[in-house]
Amino acid sequence: MRILVIGDVHGRDNWKKAVEQVEYDKVVFLGDYFDSWNESAEQQIKNFNEILEFKKKSDNEVILLIGNHDYHYLIDTEKYSGYQESYAKRFKELILPRVLDGTLDVSHQYDKFLFTHAGVTNTWLESQGWSDAKKEGVSIDEFLAITFLNSFDTFRFNGVDNTGNDVTQGPFWVRPESLYSDAYGNGEITHVVGHTRIKNIQYIQPNILLCDTDNKYYAVFNTNTAELMILEHE
């Protein structure tokens, strides 16, 4: 299985070049379709609609995950950096129906790879009742989806560190240092995440792959061979 990973988009349409450049079996967008310092709100809306159309028409599986910069338009309790007050209603009207119909999701697991916007810690999972659900045979994808749909607020910003570097943070906010110290799977699962901006796509540890760059770089990896290719375009 060759998986193309698209990091945080923030209104940019560079992803179009990526999906044209390589062969892949599946594409995973890691979220954050909105909130940009460079692209207008109208461009962000246009780009999001084009991503939805790409998912609809693609011959390959396309997974669209939710990021914190999409999430804060679903709730009234939090507004993160870049929040666009004057477009909040329109963004919510775009995002909410896609959450409810399953077009947008909070996670995707394939084999021993777990894709989320920021990562999943054992501490946060246990705070949501994961142990009991696991005993009943619920998968991690099912558990995260059910938890989110039961109450959007369970994924809100948490913890004491104002950057999100805390093991109590959920899948939209936890930072790599905390994720590494308490990652779900205890090293047996590879977390593929965006959220924390880096210059180049890289593994910070064998089980954590960071993919939030300036959209000049994309990860393509083969889940059968563990081969990782970094795709660069102008």
Q: What is the pLDDT of residue 159?
A: 86
Give the residue from 34, 36, 27 showing the smallest Cα distance to 6. Answer: 27
Residues of the chain with pLDDT under 50: none
Q: What is the pLDDT of residue 233?
A: 64
Task: Supply angle C-alpha 124, 156, 37, rounded to 5.
Answer: 125
CA–CA separation, 29 vs 6, rounded Å? 5
The H or E element spanning position 63 is: strand 61-65
* Model pTM score: 0.96
Identify the structural domains of the chain with CATH numbers, from first to last: 2-232 (3.60.21.10)
Q: What is the pLDDT of residue 177?
A: 96
Q: What is the pLDDT of residue 21?
A: 86
- Tell me the two tokens of residue 98: 């896609």
Q: What is the pLDDT of residue 234?
A: 56
